[in-house]
Structure 1
Amino acid sequence: MMGLFALLLLLTLVLGLWRVWHGPGRVDRLLAVQLLGTSGTALLLMLAQWLGQPGLRDAALILALLAAMISVALVQLLRRSRHG
């Protein structure tokens, strides 16, 4: 069952990467980046539980924090490019 969840999370990561490269607009790319951060965090947390590696939990928390900061930075960039 855990393998099926991991496969689904990998599929969402692949679809998110596709949307980042082929997204029709900047907002679509921003949402895809948020999806990558969320899916990557979930995948790392699941692997940490499955493999018994507590270090992966720390990496997942750092990824979640970085994904949130990147989202804020991209929104600011979009806002400045719209007004500039």
Structure 2
Amino acid sequence: MNTWFLTMALFLLLNLFAGLLRVFRGPTHADRMLSVELFGTTTVAMLLLLAFAMELPALLDVAMVLVLLATVATVAFVRGTGKLFK
């Protein structure tokens, strides 16, 4: 079962690289912000998988803090630009 968790974490890491490409190539600010949200969501999923694979419950707390930071970043972006989609 640990192999499955680690394989899925590696797959999610590859998805992060696809999102990084969108950050550099994204024509609008909304594309870039959605990529940042992808980073937050994928990182939380990776932390949850690694927490179960390595039996480290502290990673669950780190994932929860990261979710809160991603939410604050989204709110800050929306307030800073006025609108998400222009």
Same fold (TM > 0.5): yes
| Residue 22 of structure 1: how far off its partner (Å) | 2.4
Query: Greater relative contact order (Cα 8 A, min sep 6): structure 1 or 2?
Result: 2
Listed one character per residue, the Cα deviations across residues 17-56 of structure 1 (whole Å, up to 9, x for unaligned) are 2222221110000100111100000000110110011111
Any unmatched runs of 5+ in structure 1? Answer: none
The amino acid that maps onto 1:22 is R
Which of residues 56, 60, 63 in structure 1 aligns to 2:59? 56
Q: State the distance in 2 between where 1:24 and 1:8 align.
A: 26
Q: Which amino acid aligns with 1:12?
A: N
Aligned-pair identity in percent equals 44
Letter in 2 for 1:30: M
Instruction: Determine the C-alpha separation between the residues in 1 that align with 2:55 and 2:15.
Output: 24
With structure 1 as the length reference, what TM-score do the two structures score?
0.86
The structure 1 residue matched to 2:45, chosen from 14, 33, 42, is 42
Any residues of structure 2 matched to 1:23-34 within 5 Å, and which? Answer: 23-34=26-37
Mapped to 2, the partners of 1:4 and 1:44 lie a distance apart of 13
Q: Are 2:40 and 2:67, in contact at CA under 8 Å, matched by a contact in 1?
A: yes
Q: How many pairs does the alignment contain?
A: 80
CA RMSD of aligned residues (A): 1.3
The residue identity in structure 1 corresponding to 2:16 is L
